[in-house]
Amino acid sequence: MVIMIRKFVSSKWMILAVIGMALFVLLTVSIWRISSLAQTEPEIAPRLVLKLGYCGVDMDALCILSFGRDVDGNTVVNLFVPGRDFPDFYLIASRVTGDYLYECSRSVNVPTSVYCVGSALNLNERVEFSIFSQEDDRLLARGGLVLKAFLISAPGMETGTEITATETATETATATDPESGDETATPLPTGYPNDP
């Protein structure tokens, strides 16, 4: 018994014990993280209706990245979809004038990228978006938004703040379309730059 205790308090065993405890903590946190991410998968929690809102900096759940338009004036809704196994879906926009179907297309190369196209939406209009599974028309997610501007990325993407589904876009999001290729913009350093 004494020998066992001496062996245990020797530096080698102490180090192993500390490492083992640290690993146990990390493992527990990881398992918690994986299970919490799994909650965003409707396959695993079939009765859970996800909350749909604007994306923040940390994209873990289904969220809206941006709004745009196509050549026919339709509204394009760009979404982030968590996980490869998220079912194919379609979008219904519930407006004052009725419900409108948006057809959704998923990127073959990056399964977390989906965009949906449907009838044009109006500025300052409150819209409730519902996402339904294409396979069995099951409600997967729902969220209400007031559209303050088009062609602006989700506010949280720039400011790093979390935006909930019911929040309205802030005034900063109504700024003009971020100008790409601005003549006065500082050009990127050429040839494999370091961090800016």
Chain positions contacting other proteins, by CB under 8 A: 12, 16, 19, 23, 26, 29-30, 33-34, 37, 57-58, 60, 65-71, 76, 78, 80, 83-84, 105-110, 113-115, 151-153, 177-183, 185-196
Of residues 12 and 47, the one with the C-beta less far from other proteins: 12
Q: Which is nearer to other proteins, 2 or 34 (CB)?
A: 34
Least CB distance to other proteins at residue 70 (A) = 5
Residue placing its CB nearer to other proteins in the complex, 46 or 181: 181
C-alpha of 169 from chain center: 16
Q: Closest distance between other proteins and the C-beta of residue 186, in Å?
A: 7
CB 34, min distance to other proteins, A: 6
């819209």: which residue's tokens?
127
In the complex, what is the shortest distance from the CB of residue 97 to other proteins, in angstroms, rounded to a whole number?
24
